[in-house]
Amino acid sequence: MRFSKLFAPTTKDAPKDATLPSHIFLVRGGFINQTGSGLYNFMPLGKIVLEKIRQIVKDEMDKAGAQEISMNFVTSAELWQQSGRYEVFGKELLRFRDRKDNEFVLSPTNEEVVVDIVRNRVNSYKQLPLHLYQITTKFRDEARPRFGLLRGREFVMKDGYSFHANSDDLKREFDLMEQTYSRIFTRLGLNFRAVAADSGAIGGSGSKEFMVLAQNGEDDILICDKCQYAANVEAAKRAKKTSDKEPPKADFAKFHTPISADSSIEQLSGFFKIDPFYTVKAVIKKAIYKNKSEIVVFFVRGSDSLQEVKAINAAAALELCDASAEEISKAGLVAGFCGPVGLENVKFFIDNELKEEKNLICGANEPSYHHVGVSMFNFKPERYADLVSVEAGDLCPHCGGRLSLTKGIEVGHIFQLGQKYSSAMNATFLDQNGKTQPFFMGCYGIGVSRLVAVMIEASHDEKGCIWNKQSAPYTLDIIISNVKNEAQNAFALKLYQELKSERKEVLLDDRNERFGFKMNDFELIGFPYALIIGKEFDEGKVELVERATLKKELIEIEKLHARLNEVF
């Protein structure tokens, strides 16, 4: 490609709302442009990068035996009603009607459609396993679209769906996808981890996220310093926490505590002169369900905090919001003095780590009273759930190593769905014993357009993008320092044509612009290398610049070919 013909409208100005390097440099470098909130066009350079990433994803998916298809972007609401997700998906799902008043959605993910494709077409275990995937546009009406391509509303995702005759085969495919994803992100040169994850609205059991470690990530992940354990905070586990502080000793009793209802845990433990570890705190929330809402109480140690996603899962709610003082008292709860003992007519959950504990201090459900010497063993098993937010410094659940907190950007998510969608949508096959069974399913997503931005979050400097060879729009930018110099021009053109005929990814900057202007574009766009045909050309030398280090190297023209072979 000749730069003089390339549509790459670079600018000095960053978008007003842009804070992240990938957002700033992709817009300034003329890769993408914004047309609305969370809506971006891909211009030629952006499109080349997107296609390169898509190609790597496709190559590895095909090698793993998956088959590419293309499903509708517009999907009938009827299918979403069959799975039961039409009501529960929330506002991210864009619903609309056509001229005949039929209801539709813009696909945010495609479990329903793929189940509809497979049911009644695959009837026997002999036709399994089957893995279908696509790399297409998705739409999610995100509450806060931001950070450019990292969180758009319209974006490109690879979504794959596998069908199996039993859960062992599903597990095998899940492991194969973990390896496939690892290969994809390794080929892209990314520093990533597969982490234990919450399954969110997609559902099912057993899921892993692929996180690229990056300062600007939106996700908090905990990583063990000794073993491979890594988890999203939303799903992180820890070795049961203990305390070397003296536990309070008292028989079970009600105790007058003349402290105000909005006292902190520190004030309460100060009053009893004990460590907050031995107190129990009540977090009162309003849980939102499909057709109702309800007050729910979560009990965790005073020294712990409630992890919201774990709490949502325990309560099987769609979401949790803060409860008003009025709603709390209407539910019969005494704010500031709420405890599990004798709590009736209210749904409540107790953190798993409290299950076998005794000598605790909790609210007595009466103003200005607490219970002391409380044992936690006598509640129904369904009251206990994993509720705590695991923090940096907590111990690894596998090896006892220390967990530390880092930031990650989610680039992929793989799920073992099991029979959730196939049973809801009545998609069955005949198993080896001639018995009808719903398919066992897995689903596997990769944020393909998000990856374009992730490449730059992972690799940039204050001047602009630094692409690696796997994702760069062109590997080499041949810059003619002065296009009016005929010898420079002729040499550059001949080299460019040779390299092109060898199918090398090369750009020729033949624009009639100042040298400094062209160098700025090179640094902003971030091709891995520039070859400058400039002032040393008369002495038989050209200059190679490596974008990552900005190191310059003078090369004698006779040795150029060999050196360029290394570059490519």
| Binding positions for ligand ATP, rule: CB under 6 A | 109, 140, 142, 151-152, 155, 157, 200, 202, 410-413, 445, 447, 449-450
Residue 447 or 473 having the CB closest to ligand ATP: 447
Residue 395 or 411 having the CB closest to ligand ATP: 411
Cα torsion through 103, 38, 56, 168, rounded to 10: -50
Provide, rounded to whole angstroms, the least separation between the CB of residue 63 and ligand ATP.
21
Residue 363 or 445 having the CB closest to ligand ATP: 445
Provide, rounded to whole angstroms, the least separation between the CB of residue 365 and ligand ATP.
37
Provide, rounded to whole angstroms, the least separation between the CB of residue 413 and ligand ATP.
3
Residue 140 or 370 having the CB closest to ligand ATP: 140
Residue 17 or 498 having the CB closest to ligand ATP: 17
Residue 456 or 542 having the CB closest to ligand ATP: 456
> In this structure, are residues 346 and 295 in contact, taking their beta carbons and an 8 Å threshold?
yes
Residue 108 or 363 having the CB closest to ligand ATP: 108
> In this structure, are residues 151 and 24 in contact, taking their beta carbons and an 8 Å threshold?
no
Residue 203 or 276 having the CB closest to ligand ATP: 203
> In this structure, are residues 481 and 519 in contact, taking their beta carbons and an 8 Å threshold?
no
Residue 297 or 452 having the CB closest to ligand ATP: 452
* Nearest to 66, CA basis, from 448, 443, 420: 443
Is the sign of the CA dihedral 85, 87, 89, 92 positive or negative? positive
Cα–Cα distance, 134 to 202 (Å, whole number): 17
Cα–Cα distance, 502 to 143 (Å, whole number): 48
Provide, rounded to whole angstroms, the least separation between the CB of residue 68 and ligand ATP.
17
Provide, rounded to whole angstroms, the least separation between the CB of residue 452 and ligand ATP.
10
Name 7's Cβ contacts closer than 8 Å, sequence gap at least 6.
Answer: 30, 43, 44
SS3 117: helix
Is the sign of the CA dihedral 159, 163, 164, 166 positive or negative? positive
Residue 149 or 531 having the CB closest to ligand ATP: 149
Residue number closest to ligand ATP, CB atom: 447
Q: Which tokens belong to 349?
A: 């959950």
Q: Which tokens belong to 504?
A: 């090398």
Residue 365 or 416 having the CB closest to ligand ATP: 416
For tokens 């497979």, name the residue: 118
Provide, rounded to whole angstroms, the least separation between the CB of residue 88 and ligand ATP.
14
Spell out where 280-327 has E strands.
280-288, 293-301, 319-322
Provide, rounded to whole angstroms, the least separation between the CB of residue 449 and ligand ATP.
6
DSSP helix, strand, coil percent of the chain (3-state; round to 5): 30, 30, 40
Provide, rounded to whole angstroms, the least separation between the CB of residue 562 and ligand ATP.
41
Sheet containing 551-556: which strands, arranged edge to edge? 506-509, 476-480, 529-533, 541-546, 551-556
Q: Find the helix or strand (DSSP H, E) in which 23 lies.
A: helix 21-28
Provide, rounded to whole angstroms, the least separation between the CB of residue 488 and ligand ATP.
43
Provide, rounded to whole angstroms, the least separation between the CB of residue 560 and ligand ATP.
41
Cα–Cα distance, 349 to 306 (Å, whole number): 11
> In this structure, are residues 458 and 212 in contact, taking their beta carbons and an 8 Å threshold?
yes
Peptide bond into 473 cis (omega under 30): no
Say how many C-beta atoms besides its own lie within 10 A of residue 399's C-beta.
13
Q: Which tokens belong to 477?
A: 């930018």
Cα–Cα distance, 403 to 491 (Å, whole number): 57
Provide, rounded to whole angstroms, the least separation between the CB of residue 437 and ligand ATP.
27
Provide, rounded to whole angstroms, the least separation between the CB of residue 218 and ligand ATP.
7
Q: Which tokens belong to 48?
A: 């080349």
Provide, rounded to whole angstroms, the least separation between the CB of residue 384 and ligand ATP.
27
- Phi, then psi, of 54 in degrees rounded to 5: -55, -40
Compute the chain's Rg from CA coordinates: 29
Residue 15 or 373 having the CB closest to ligand ATP: 15
Q: How far apart are the first and last CA of the chain?
A: 16
> In this structure, are residues 159 and 34 in contact, taking their beta carbons and an 8 Å threshold?
no
Residue 339 or 408 having the CB closest to ligand ATP: 408
Provide, rounded to whole angstroms, the least separation between the CB of residue 155 and ligand ATP.
4
Residue 303 or 449 having the CB closest to ligand ATP: 449
Cα–Cα distance, 442 to 68 (Å, whole number): 16
